[in-house]
Structure 1
Amino acid sequence: MNGNQSWFGRFAKKASCYTGKPATFAIAIGGIIVWAAFGPFLGYSDTWQLMVNTTTTIVTFLMVFLIQNSQNRDSEALQIKLDELIRVQKKANNAFMDLEDLTEEELEKVRADFVRLAEEKRRSDGEGGGGE
C-alpha cells in the first residue's frame, strides 16, 4: 500500500516526522540566536531584519503544505477506522459511514435530528423514572 504513495506524500511524511522533533526545534532556536547575535555587527540594518523575515516566511509557507498533507492523511485514516467500527457494530446505522461527504446543511439536519432524539430520551427518562 505504501509503495503507491506519491513522492510528495513520502516527502511530506518524512519532513513532518523530522520537523516535529525537539532537535529540529533546537536548530531553529539556534538559528534565531545566531541571527540575533549578528545584529550588532550589521548595525541592525534592514538587510539583517529582511534576512530573518524572508527565511521565516518561506519556511512557514512551505510548512503549511506539509502540515496540511499530514492532516489530510491522518483524517482520512481516522475516517476509515471509524467507518470500520460502524460497519462491524450490529446496532450501528451504516448510513453514517459517509457523513464527511455531506454538505453543511445536510450535516446540520443530521445534528438537529440527534438533538431532537436526545431531548426525547431525556423527557422519556424523566417521565419513566429515569432508569434503564
Structure 2
Amino acid sequence: MPEQKLDTPDGTDALGSMPSTNSPSYATHSGLQTAFDHFASRVTRWAGSPTMFCLALGVVLVWALMGPAFNYSENWQLVINTLTTIVTFLMVFLIQQSQNKDSVAVHLKLNELLAANRHASNRMIGIEDLDEQDLREVADFYTRLADRAKQVGSDRRAYSIDDEGMPERLDRTS
C-alpha cells in the first residue's frame, strides 16, 4: 500500500499526522534531550525494579549492622544521610522527566480518543492547560451534569459539555 503524503503546501505536517523524519519538527529535536530522555527512562525502570529495592535494602542492613563497630557515631550516621540525600536528589530529576513524558503521552492518547469519538466534545482537548480554578469549574459542571443524568433516570441518553455548554468564562470557542 503506497504511503500517503500528509504534508501541507507550506511543508509542515498536516493536522493530526505524526511528524516524519524529514519534517521541521524532527530536525529541531535536541540530541542531549533525547539522550537524557532515554537515560531517565532506563534508570527509572531499573530503580523501580525488585532487584534495586533488594540492593537498597541490603545497603541499609549492612549500614545498620556496622553501627556497633562505629559506636553509632555521627560519622556512621552521616554516611547513610549523605548517600540517601544524593540518591534522592538525583532521582527526583530522573523520575520527573519520565513522569512528564508519560503525562504528555497520556494526554495525547486521551486527546485522540476525544477527537475520534463523535459523541465527545472536542473542546475538552487540551483542557490540562487550564489553571486549577478553571478545572474545578469544569469538574463542578460535570457534577451537575451527572446529577441531571440521575434525575432523568434510565434514559440512556449521553450527556456532554456540548449539550449544556462550557461554563462561559472557560469557553474558548466564542
Calculate the TM-score normalised by the size of structure 2: 0.67
Deviations 1:37-80 (A, max 9, x none): 22122121110111111111111111111111111111111111
Instruction: Report the secondary structure of 1:41's partner residue.
Output: helix
Deviations 1:57-111 (A, max 9, x none): 1111111111111111111111111110111111111010111001122212212
Given residue 42 of structure 1, which amino acid in structure 2 is its aligned partner? F
Given residue 114 of structure 1, which amino acid in structure 2 is its aligned partner? Y
For 2:61 and 2:152, locate their aligned partners in 1 and report how far apart those are by CA, in whole Å. Answer: 64
Residue 107 of structure 1 pairs with residue 135 of structure 2:
yes
Corresponding residue for residue 53 of structure 1: 81
Calculate the TM-score normalised by the size of structure 1: 0.86
Matched residue count: 128
For 1:123 and 1:22, locate their aligned partners in 2 and report how far apart those are by CA, in whole Å. Answer: 49
Corresponding residue for residue 28 of structure 1: 56
- Residues 102 and 44 of structure 1: CA distance in aligned 2, closer, same or farther (over 3 Å): same
Select the residue among 12, 35, 39 that pairs with 1:11: 39
Q: Which runs of 5+ in 1 are unaligned?
A: none
Corresponding residue for residue 17 of structure 2: none
- Higher relative contact order structure (alpha carbons within 8 Å, sequence separation ≥ 6): 1
Give 1 or 2: higher helix fraction: 1
Counting aligned pairs with the same residue, the percent is 44
Q: Hey, which bits of structure 1, 4+ residues long, moved more than 3 A?
A: none
Corresponding residue for residue 91 of structure 1: 119
